[in-house]
Amino acid sequence: MAGGRPASASAHLGARDARLSRLSGKSWPEGVLLDALDLSPTLDVLDVGAGDGRLVRELARRAHVGRVVGVDPTPEPGVQPASAEALPFPDASFDVVLFARVLAHLPDQARALAEARRVLRPGGRVWVAAHGPAQLRATWAALGQPLAPGKTQPEPALTLTCPLTVTADDARFLLDTYGEEAEVSPHLFSVQDAAQLLVWLLEP
């Protein structure tokens, strides 16, 4: 989706994440991601495609003392307006650049990654996170929805998995957040499932 997203997509994502957080008992996905990355609190962090700024807020909640900036072409409060392909920062400005569930939405991923490397200090890290193929696999199977055929991906550095139990009511709710239609057969639920995030560390 070039240059932003409709407000309803953001609302759907927020509603879905809130439900997955409740079901897994974890703050999904920002809390789970930050737990795994275990960033030193003094690092300067840029969150590209920050959306509603939840990762920025979560770092503040964790008393992160380094600079934390979120950018998004459709910014919400606490996020600066900017695109991944033209970051408004000098070279070598940040220790960490994060792309959380963003890269697939970008029209020019190579340019975005080059920009991330440009604003990164020597020795800094670029982390890319995306939902993995096991994201809600059992729920989709119970709904009779074929999963997208697997794409060949480089090995992630981390695979973050949050087990959860999905009831028929949850399945209806989740389907709605995806704008999907399918019959929910209550006898096929509950299912044991998982929210999943794959995380890659870019080579310098």
Binding residues for ligand SAM, per CB under 6 A?
Answer: 1, 3-5, 13, 48-51, 54, 72-74, 83-85, 100-102, 105-106
How would you classify the pairing of strands 158-166 and 45-48?
unpaired
| C-alpha to C-alpha distance for 103 and 55, rounded to whole angstroms | 16
Beta strands per DSSP E along the chain: 45-48, 68-72, 80-81, 94-100, 120-131, 158-166, 191-201
Q: For residues 13 and 134, which CB has a smaller minimum distance to ligand SAM in the complex?
A: 13
Q: At what angle do helices 7-24 and 168-177 cross, to 10 degrees?
A: 150
Q: For residues 83 and 196, which CB has a smaller minimum distance to ligand SAM in the complex?
A: 83
To the nearest whole angstrom, how small is the minimum distance from the Cβ of residue 157 to ligand SAM?
Answer: 18
Residue showing the smallest CB distance to ligand SAM in the complex: 51
To the nearest whole angstrom, how small is the minimum distance from the Cβ of residue 180 to ligand SAM?
Answer: 16
To the nearest whole angstrom, how small is the minimum distance from the Cβ of residue 109 to ligand SAM?
Answer: 10
Say how far residue 111 (Cα) sits from the centre of its chain.
20
Q: For residues 83 and 139, which CB has a smaller minimum distance to ligand SAM in the complex?
A: 83
